[in-house]
A and B are shown apart, each in its own frame.
Chain A
Amino acid sequence: MEIFPGFAAAEVLFNDDGSVKGVATGNMGVGKDGKPTDSFQIGMELLGKYTIFAEGARGHLGKQLIAKYQLDADTDPQTYGIGIKEVWEIEPERHQPGLALHTAGWPMDDATYGGAFMYHMADNKIAMGFVTGLNYSNPYLSPFEEFQRWKTHPNVRYYLENSKGEVTGKRLAYGARAITAGGLMSLPKTVFPGGALVGCDAGFLNTSRIKGSHAAIKTGALAAEAAFNAIQAGRQHDELSAYPEAFEKSWLFTELNKARNFKSWFKKGLGVASLMNGIEQFALRGYFPWTIRRDKPDHAYLKPASECQPIVYPKPDGKLTFDRNSSVFLANVNHEENQPAHLTLKDASVPVNINLAQYAGLEARYCPAGVYEYVKADDGKDRLQINAQNCVHCKTCDIKDPTQNIVWVTPEGGGGPNYADM
């Protein structure tokens, strides 16, 4: 097989009959002004009898395919979380290899879905992170700062300190990524003429276990199985219906079916959610007849800033808690500077007129990488500055923008974070 790293699939190609023909990679060497530079190289077309989309959560081509083929017509809207993660090296005496710690509650209020994890790996390293449900309603909320202040809880900072109570652990890496949380109730149809959605691009993550890698591997393999058999039978560019059929007979379907209400209960608060998930998952072992439905996408849960309390977050101390810039540095983000911004606006007036006026400029808070900044223009007016080179490709803006005015597209291939061991 051929693996082409550094090549971003930028566009879906269609046959005349509406089936997917393949993808095109993006052009390289287009300047900020949209004009070809000296290093310009036009994209390539990669054509397949079948195309399998495995872009991860909120894939930008997957999103287009779901809309074009109305794959989510019969499902609940997808719901997402933003996961922000750091890897630390800590004092050996505070390291408990094999410990998997999860927390709920503080600093989230009862109405907001969120929780944290801390996993003790080998070599005195720990991975920890915080997941905030993107259906939060208060535009003043900042998932990044919620994670930072979570680390100040005595039961968390304990692991990052030495025996004298000094923070001696060292942060090694940082990253952020949106995850799907809707589970089975939000799972779109996964096949369309000429292709399939697999893994988090479809939304197979099991929220109750916060695990998706096993589901990604399983559904990738199932789609491959269906594509292989179809090609051997001389077929192409049709629907691989054997893939969803095999999924429904698999252990993965059983697992996701048991967890189908997990996230929905959190709309009723942490107390009810803990009780009901306890009953469903502990007492009934996942076998229960009822299903809780969701009716709105995440961005529709936002309330205007005028109805919400501003949240004051503590200032970072540079040891235990950090700002966005020093964090993005640890994600090793790199983008060719002379290229059009890959965070595109359908209407350039919306950020100031709607997002800043009604939602207190929320994109500056939900973005974990400092891409969005409201600054004063020369004429004294507010202006949204988009620092696209900071982007860690988490897709949160594409999900949470109140009017869905921000559209994430692929930058030049090879751009983005360079995570090692995240």
Chain B
Amino acid sequence: MTPQEILAQFGPREAMEYDVVVVGGGPAGLAAAIRLKQRAAETGKEISVVVLEKGSEPGAHILSGAIMDPIALDELIPDWKALGAPLNQLVTDDAVIFLGEKSAFRTPNFLLPPCVQNHGLLHHQSGRSDALAGNASGRLGRGNLPRLCRRRGAI
């Protein structure tokens, strides 16, 4: 059966209405949801938000390098340090190396342009950072967060 045939036979589907639907529970989607709830709290308004995540848990499908520039997190959740965010390793040395099959040439650090300098930025583990976002959002609204906290409790 095609999805259309299934819909014709078993539909219509149940519909739930929200102000904002967010597709994806990664850093972008969670930041959107958090900001919506922050603005509602600041202005004393109500806003209904739902976040859909195809992974078994938020963070389950997230993969990045990952060194993070905390500039955007500082803006969104200024007290992320106090909240115990798992951004636990500061970058203290940058090495940019050009490899040959058996050789290696390390670019002197004084020649590194700003875009490849990571000094002072933070190493993070993406899945864990979304636990942070989950925790932060938990402060701001009702939600289905226990699973998050259960999995990522040991931050």
Contacts and interface: CB of A to CB of B under 8 A. Distances in A.
Interface of A: 1-9, 11, 22-25, 27, 30, 34-36, 40, 42-56, 59, 61, 83, 85, 96-107, 117, 119-122, 127, 129, 153-155, 175-177, 198-201, 206, 208-221, 223-225, 227-228, 231-232, 251-252, 258-259, 262, 274, 277-278, 280-282, 285-286, 334, 393, 410, 413-422
Nearest to A46: B21
A224 B113 contact: no
Listed residue (A55, A208, A286) with the most chain B CB atoms within 10 angstroms of its CB: A55
B61 A220 contact: no
B15 A55 contact: no
A44 B25 contact: no
17 contacts: A3-B50, A27-B6, A44-B15, A46-B50, A48-B18, A52-B20, A53-B23, A54-B23, A83-B65, A101-B95, A102-B94, A198-B28, A218-B75, A286-B115, A419-B60, A421-B128, A422-B127
B67 A211 contact: yes
Contacts of A121: 88-89, 123, 125
A4 B89 contact: no
A225 B76 CA distance: 12
A221 B123 CA distance: 22
Interface of B: 1-3, 6-7, 10-11, 13-37, 39-40, 43, 45, 47-73, 75-76, 88-102, 104, 111-116, 118, 123-129, 134, 137, 140-145, 147-148
A278 B145 CA distance: 46
Given A43-B13, A44-B15, A104-B98, A219 B28 contact: yes
Contacts of A104: 96-99
B117 to A, nearest CB: 9
Given A4-B53, A50-B20, A217-B27, 6 more contacts: A59-B23, A129-B65, A218-B71, A251-B71, A417-B63, A418-B57
Nearest to A98: B92
B35 A47 contact: no
A51 B23 contact: yes
A23 B52 contact: yes
B17 to A, nearest CB: 5
B20 A285 contact: no
Contacts of B88: 121-122
A189 B55 CA distance: 27
A154 B101 CA distance: 9
A3 B53 contact: yes
Contact of A103 (B19, B70, B99): B99
A218 B90 CA distance: 21
Listed residue (B16, B32, B47) with the most chain A CB atoms within 10 angstroms of its CB: B32
B150 to A, nearest CB: 12
Contacts of A9: 23-24, 52, 54
A52 B66 CA distance: 24
Contacts of A24: 13
Contacts of A421: 125, 127-128
A215 to B, nearest CB: 7
The A interface, classified by DSSP as helix, strand, loop or mixed, is: mixed
B27 A199 contact: yes
B122 to A, nearest CB: 10
Given A54-B22, A98-B91, A334-B56, A1 B10 contact: no
Nearest to B111: A282
Contact of B58 (A3, A42, A45, A85): A3
A210 B118 CA distance: 11
Listed residue (A3, A35, A218, A252) with the most chain B CB atoms within 10 angstroms of its CB: A3
B13 A3 contact: no
A23 B13 CA distance: 12
A312 B3 CA distance: 43
Given A43-B13, A122-B89, A419 B114 contact: no
B50 A4 contact: yes
A70 B116 CA distance: 34
A127 to B, nearest CB: 7
